């Protein structure tokens, strides 16, 4: 250990300090993800957030809300792109891996497409789709709700948004898994190769679709078509620009809503009294979803790199230092949230970090919120009473995305 900061002096806080140091020690070892791959990892994250910054063996980890704000609200900070291209892509993903001033130009193009008002008309579609998926398993009385509901719903909506035929769903789901899942026993080199191969397949697929549309002279009025005809500062997007946006939308959009749905359904399965309250008062869904997004933080971690020396707590972070930002810890900071380790489904205000903060705020946050609201409301109208299937064990993945997979739920089928 090289350095920790602002160590608490009084006895009562000694255990926090020990916890924080213990967690930081784990963070640089291999067991960190395992510690977090449980139904309730909140104590671990809260421990990390109790120090303004943790510096160990050259790793900088920030979990306190104030420190996260310092980093994410600054103009002199780069996002994930400072580490290289996400999922070993050939070029930076747009807008995730690019920073100002380029980032601002692309967000001006993309934000209106994903604005709350622009996607509101899709809600009826999401509810219909949710019903169709539920029809397939409701009479059975049990299902792996991850595979049959959580994974399929956002991917289907993505294909519709992009104007890609639904017959391609399984191709996309397989590629998504190849791009985002870790496989036990795989070496780093093998994993990189798998990412690259899956990435190439996706790029080739989108390339072919764009070719076909160009040949037909009809770009279409879906997102892909809008990108093909869009202009940024008077220039059309290049083919590479469009592909880099498509790949980002796929990586960011297919998995995160699925993960969020699985975490929320798993929590509600384990807390039947709270669930019954929401089922009886469905107007509670928006606040309940915000709170469960805070509690679960399905995207728990990000990377930020200051481009100037920056003061975080008592530590000066040198320009160019990569800092791991833990949204999951900031979401449990008692300076920001009253009684943060209690889930309060009516919590307001709830300025949580689950869609990131700062200029890399999740582009799809409004789409995600709408999908979650529609899917959860519809699911509970059809299946208000359910439980984790007795005898089955819940399995969580912690990083890079937190999810409950499989999610074996069961319910009583009437008559």
Partner 1 sequence: MRLELDGEACQGHGRCYSLTPTLFDADDQGHSVLLEADVPAGQESSARQAVESCPEGAIALHE
Could you list the residues that contact partner 1 (CB under 8 A)? 69, 73, 107-108, 111-112, 114-118, 286, 348-353, 355, 357-359, 361, 365-366
Q: Which is nearer to partner 1, 73 or 235 (CB)?
A: 73
Least distance (Å) from partner 1 to the CB of residue 183?
35
Q: Which is nearer to partner 1, 20 or 80 (CB)?
A: 80
Q: Which is nearer to partner 1, 288 or 388 (CB)?
A: 288
Least distance (Å) from partner 1 to the CB of residue 335?
13
Least distance (Å) from partner 1 to the CB of residue 115?
3
Q: Which is nearer to partner 1, 108 or 235 (CB)?
A: 108
Least distance (Å) from partner 1 to the CB of residue 361?
4
Least distance (Å) from partner 1 to the CB of residue 338?
11
Could you tell me which residues are beta bridge partners of residue 55?
3, 60
The size of the chain, in residues, is: 415
Q: Which is nearer to partner 1, 78 or 107 (CB)?
A: 107
Q: Which is nearer to partner 1, 187 or 338 (CB)?
A: 338
How far is the C-alpha of 299 from the C-alpha of 164, rounded, in Å? Answer: 26
Q: Which is nearer to partner 1, 106 or 203 (CB)?
A: 106
**3-state DSSP of 28-73:** CCCCHHHHHCCCCCHHHHHHHHCCCCEEECCEEEECCHHHHHHHHC
Q: Answer yes or no: are the C-beta atoms of 304 and 325 closer than 8 Å.
A: yes
Least distance (Å) from partner 1 to the CB of residue 121?
15
Structure tokens at 221: 């009025």
Could you tell me which residues are beta bridge partners of residue 388?
409
Least distance (Å) from partner 1 to the CB of residue 53?
20
**3-state DSSP of the chain:** CCEECCCCCCHHHHHHHHHHHHHHHHHCCCCHHHHHCCCCCHHHHHHHHCCCCEEECCEEEECCHHHHHHHHCCCCEECHHHHCCHHHCCCCCCCCCCCCCHHHHHHHHHHHHHCHHHHHHHHHHHHHHHHHHHHCCHHHCEEEHHHHHHCHHHHHHHHHHHCCCHHHHHHHHHHHHHHHCCCCCCCHHHHHHHHHHHHHHHHHHHHHHHHHHHHHCCCCCCHHHHHHHCEECCEECCHHHHHHHHHHHHHHHHHHHHHHHHHHHHHHHHCHHHHHHHHHCHHHHHHHHHHHHHHHCCCCEEEEEECCCEEECCEEECCCCCEEEEHHHHCCCCCCCCCCCCCCCCCCCCCCCCCCCCCCCCCCHHHHHHHHHHHHHHHHHHCCCCEECCCCCCCEECCCCCEECCCEEECCCCC
Q: Which is nearer to partner 1, 126 or 243 (CB)?
A: 126
Least distance (Å) from partner 1 to the CB of residue 8?
26
Q: Which is nearer to partner 1, 247 or 355 (CB)?
A: 355
Q: Which is nearer to partner 1, 118 or 319 (CB)?
A: 118
Structure tokens at 174: 């397989």
Q: Which is nearer to partner 1, 129 or 326 (CB)?
A: 326
Least distance (Å) from partner 1 to the CB of residue 79?
13
Least distance (Å) from partner 1 to the CB of residue 369?
9
Least distance (Å) from partner 1 to the CB of residue 347?
10
């Amino acid at each position: 250990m090289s350095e920790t900061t602002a160590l608490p002096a009084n006895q009562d806080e000694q255990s926090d300090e020990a916890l924080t140091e213990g967690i930081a020690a784990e963070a640089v070892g291999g067991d960190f993800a395992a510690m977090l791959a449980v139904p309730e990892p909140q104590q671990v994250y809260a421990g990390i957030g109790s120090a303004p910054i943790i510096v160990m063996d050259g790793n900088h980890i920030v979990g306190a809300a104030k420190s996260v704000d310092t980093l994410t609200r600054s103009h002199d900070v780069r996002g994930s792109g400072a580490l290289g291209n996400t999922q070993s892509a050939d070029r930076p993903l747009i807008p995730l891996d690019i920073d100002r001033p380029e980032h601002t130009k692309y967000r001006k193009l993309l934000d209106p497409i994903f604005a709350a008002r622009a996607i509101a008309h899709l809600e009826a579609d999401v509810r219909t789709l949710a019903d169709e998926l539920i029809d397939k398993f409701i009479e059975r009385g049990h299902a792996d709700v991850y595979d049959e509901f959580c994974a399929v719903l956002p991917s289907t909506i993505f294909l519709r948004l992009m104007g890609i035929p639904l017959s391609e769903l399984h191709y996309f789901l397989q590629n998504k898994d190849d791009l985002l899942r870790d496989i036990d026993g795989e070496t780093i080199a093998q994993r990189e190769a798998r990412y690259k191969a899956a990435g190439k397949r996706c790029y080739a697929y989108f390339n072919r679709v764009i070719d076909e549309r160009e040949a037909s002279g009809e770009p279409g009025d879906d997102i892909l078509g809008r990108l093909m005809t869009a202009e940024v500062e008077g220039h059309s997007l290049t083919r590479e620009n469009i592909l880099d946006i498509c790949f980002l939308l796929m990586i960011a959009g297919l998995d995160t809503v699925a993960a969020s749905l699985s975490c929320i359904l798993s929590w509600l399965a384990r807390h039947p009294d709270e669930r019954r309250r929401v089922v009886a008062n469905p107007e509670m869904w928006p606040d309940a979803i915000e709170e469960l997004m805070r509690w679960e933080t399905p995207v728990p971690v990000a990377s930020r790199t200051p481009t100037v020396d920056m003061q975080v707590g008592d530590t000066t972070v040198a320009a160019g230092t990569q800092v791991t930002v833990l949204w999951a810890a900031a979401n449990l900071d008692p300076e920001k949230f009253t009684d943060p380790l209690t889930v309060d489904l009516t919590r307001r205000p709830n300025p949580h970090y689950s869609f990131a903060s700062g200029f890399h705020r999740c582009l799809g946050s409004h789409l995600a919120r709408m999908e979650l609201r529609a899917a959860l409301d519809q699911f509970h109208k059809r299946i208000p009473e359910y439980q984790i299937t007795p005898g089955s064990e819940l399995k969580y993945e912690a990083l890079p995305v937190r999810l409950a997979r499989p999610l074996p739920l069961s319910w009583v089928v009437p008559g």
